[in-house]
Structure 1
Amino acid sequence: MSTAMSAAWPYPLLADMVLAVHFGVVLFVIGGLVLVFVGNRLATWPWVNALWFRMAHLVAIGVVAAQSWLGMVCPLTTLEAWLREQAGEASHDQSFVAYWLQRLMFFTAPEWVFAVAYTAFGLLVVLAWWRYPPRVARSRG
């Protein structure tokens, strides 16, 4: 391994890890709403109405929408870009997994489009709270 490569070696891995976490957050936000609707329709997944799950989901989309309206870049995006810069990578010099995760997650559109989309999704989450209210877990005993 060359000296330049050994000095940069942890950064590509860390950048890929941050991207994977970011993708997990996206899956949680989108998939969480799907799970709430499906779980309530099937009436077989009572955990989808657990207060902790619903609060985490509401906070997640709330943060995303607020960042968008405030013109802020997601801190995970910023961290990943910094790690890739430390590794000496251009945006196209990524691993196979990073390439495809970024293709799935990032789109080019005017900022207002994202703000409106995130807000509309947030309103769907609020609608789910109204339609399927969260429940506080009862203690057994």
Structure 2
Amino acid sequence: MDIAIFGVLADFVALLHIAYAAVIVIGLLMILFGYFLKWKWVRNPWFRSIHLIMIAIVVYEAWAGITCPLTVWERELRTLAQQPFDGESLIGRSVHFLLFFDAPWWVFTTCYSLCGALVLTTLILVPPTASRKTLQTDQSTN
């Protein structure tokens, strides 16, 4: 098997990692903007549940000292591709620039925990709508 495929797979995992982080951060921003702009979709219970679970996983991994599986998989694929962890491709280098930086573990744990706390706070400030019927009632009152 050509080792170049492992580099491509590592880039794919790196992109998946950045997408995961983006969903958490952009989702939080959209919920906050949605509150002020009265966007109904930010109260979708599926979206809110998935968003909460995503950050809960990150916070749990940080507190438990678990390295993110996406980081582990990318590192293993880069090893198989005989590439440095930050990648040889533009994608690999760009993703690493956005996701990874040198700081003590507690900095990451604090940041993830604060983000998780913000997501929990939005559940109180901008609670998900329980059902379609409730959503229709909300729309008729606006």
Same-fold call, TM cutoff 0.5: yes
Q: Give the 5 Å matches for 1:72-87.
A: 72-87=66-81
**Does 2:87 match 1:99?**
no
Amino acid at match of 1:64: V
Q: Which residue number in structure 2 is paired with residue 35 of structure 1?
A: 30
Of residues 11, 20, 27, the one that matches 1:25 is: 20
User: Pairwise CA RMSD of aligned residues?
Assistant: 1.5
Structure 2: runs of 5+ lacking an equivalent: 137-142
Give the alignment's TM-score, normalised by structure 2.
0.89
Give the alignment's TM-score, normalised by structure 1.
0.89
Q: Which residue number in structure 2 is paired with residue 56 of structure 1?
A: 50
**Does 2:95 match 1:119?**
no
TM-aligned CA distance change 1:16 to 1:70, over 3 Å: same
Give 3-state SS (helix, strand or coil) of 1:91's partner: coil
CA distance in 2, matches of 1:91, 1:77: 9
Structure 1: runs of 5+ lacking an equivalent: 1-5
Give, in angstroms, the shift of residue 100 of structure 1. 1.1
Amino acid at match of 1:47: W
Give 3-state SS (helix, strand or coil) of 2:46's partner: helix
Amino acid at match of 2:3: A
Q: Which residue number in structure 1 is paired with residue 139 of structure 2?
A: none
Give 3-state SS (helix, strand or coil) of 2:132's partner: coil
After TM superposition, the runs of 4+ consecutive aligned structure 1 residues lying more than 6 A away are none
